[in-house]
Amino acid sequence: MKLLVFAGSTRTASWNRKLATATANLARASGAEVTHLELGDFDVPMYNADLESRGTPADVMRLKEITAAHPAWIICTPEYNASYPALLKNTLDWISSPVKGDPLWSDEFRSTRGKVVGVLSASPGSLGGLRSQSHLVPLLFNLQCWVAPKTFALARAADAFDAGGALASEAARNAVQAVVEQVITAARRLNPD
């Protein structure tokens, strides 16, 4: 199963990137073929329909291809003002915006339809970014994703990783593993070939 993992932060010391790395490692150990995507590697401007009318940016097309090629995703979202960050909204808006006249990409949901998505969050705070998830999930439904019922919010993220970057607590590892397994199981059932 091809699993895409990405964090909604480009910050160098991002807790959500650390969580994405730990998640990718757990998923690989479970046999998944994991792509850990760094959104900072893509040159994606703030969405603007005038700009888009002059041509969808090349890195947006790359993102569309990559997301489309992965039946299973896990998103690690930061929490900004009790919601998810603009980076995630902008990325998901771009990949779900149709490329007019293109035989494949005029289908707005080609990158997102039917994806099984696990939602994780991490925050230095005591709620672990939980409130960001309740905003992100309806957006994913709108993109025609299947959102895994199991989720996990990593609280007190500054104390949650060991020196090697792994999740320090067994409870946190088990919670992430449970999301990974649910996402992979559901994606296999929805994509039997």
The residues that touch ligand FNR, with contacts defined as CB under 6 A, are 9, 11, 14-16, 78-82, 123-125, 127, 129
DSSP-assigned letter for residue 43: -
Structure tokens, 191: 């994509």
Between 84 and 105, name the residue whose CB sits nearer to ligand FNR: 84
Residue 64 CB, nearest distance to ligand FNR (Å)?
Answer: 24
Between 57 and 125, name the residue whose CB sits nearer to ligand FNR: 125
Between 87 and 187, name the residue whose CB sits nearer to ligand FNR: 87
Residue 153 CB, nearest distance to ligand FNR (Å)?
Answer: 9
Structure tokens, 110: 């080609």
Whether 139 and 92 have beta carbons less than 8 Å apart is answered as: yes
Q: Helix, strand or coil for residue 154?
A: strand
CA torsion 37→43→44→45, rounded to 10°?
150
Between 71 and 78, name the residue whose CB sits nearer to ligand FNR: 78
Between 66 and 127, name the residue whose CB sits nearer to ligand FNR: 127
Whether 146 and 109 have beta carbons less than 8 Å apart is answered as: no
Residue 123 CB, nearest distance to ligand FNR (Å)?
Answer: 3
Residue 156 CB, nearest distance to ligand FNR (Å)?
Answer: 10
Tell me how far the alpha carbon of residue 34 is from its chain's centroid: 12
Whole-angstrom Cα distance, residue 143 to residue 107? 12
Whether 38 and 83 have beta carbons less than 8 Å apart is answered as: no
Residue 135 CB, nearest distance to ligand FNR (Å)?
Answer: 11
